[in-house]
Amino acid sequence: MNKILAFLLAIAFIILAWFGWGWYKQNIACCNETVEEVKEAIVPEVVKYGPLVYNWNSGKAITNDLWPAKKQEIQSADAEGKILRIVGPYFKDEVNNTSFENIGLARADAVRQILSDSIPLERMEIDSKLMSNLDDMKTKPFGGTVLDWKIRNENIKEIDNKALIYFPYNSTKKLENKNINDYLASVAESLKGNEKTVALSGHTDNKGRPAYNKRLALNRTKTIKAILVKLGIAANRISTTSFGEEKPIETNDTEEGRQKNRRVELEVQ
């Protein structure tokens, strides 16, 4: 009886050892081997900036491979009687280490110098614009330069989205010349196919009585309005107002200054 029991125990031990060895190989021995972790390669994002950018606190204009095409675009828009207006961006917290009033003017001048090999300096003017803050403006290059051809002659002066149309003393008639006719025709053309409107405001010098000057300025706006209506623009798309002598843009102490104050301001809205 003892021999049989001993035999059965031996058989049970062998079976247990067999299954135990199999479990060990599957769950323990296999996992001691070195497993190489495969990591997915991370491709850095390529950031593409515009053709003309700046760094924080720097007046230097930075160009890249997009600049030649942009420069060609600027040159192709050139026309007789126009100047290139360059407006440089700047932020309130930037440190201005330049000789200009603000770093935006320094940036505009840097662009002017870059373009001077193809556009005469006297046909370019610079200005600046205070920008709203950007999230990464201190760490990444930023753009914001405005380059636009504007009409500049004795009768028309374009500034941004506004134009000044000059009148002779005590006159409500527009100056009869090609510059003004062409400009008003271009305004009328730009208003076709959209719902934009025109705001006209009249201004005078300080000669004469204020009440008279206000009527005179209003009549000047009506003269321009009549021309635009004749060119096909609906009258209800054109508003007129008069400030008379209240808002001079130059001194009234000289004839040249008074001439610049006798104007209608035309703004497309």
Which strands form 263-268's sheet, in the order they lie side by side? 156-159, 162-166, 263-268, 198-203, 238-244
Query: pLDDT tens digits, residue range 92-136?
Result: 999 999 999 999 999 999 999 999 999 999 999 999 999 988 888
Domains and CATH numbers, the chain: 52-151 (3.30.1330.60), 156-268 (3.30.1330.60)
Least confident segment among 22-26, 27-31, 250-254: 27-31
Task: Please tell me the pTM assigned to this model.
Answer: 0.64
- Per-residue pLDDT, averaged over 180-196, amounts to 88
Take residue 144 and report the two structure tokens written for it. 């914001």
Average pLDDT score over the chain: 84
Q: 245: buried, middle or exposed (CB in 10 Å: 19+, 13-18, 0-12)?
A: buried
Contact 66, 87 (CB under 8 A): no
CB 149 within 8 A of CB 84: yes
Is residue 230 predicted with pLDDT exceeding 80?
Answer: yes
Q: What is the pLDDT of residues 27-83, one digit of tens each?
A: 655 555 555 555 565 544 445 568 999 999 999 999 998 999 999 999 988 888 889
pLDDT for position 179: 78
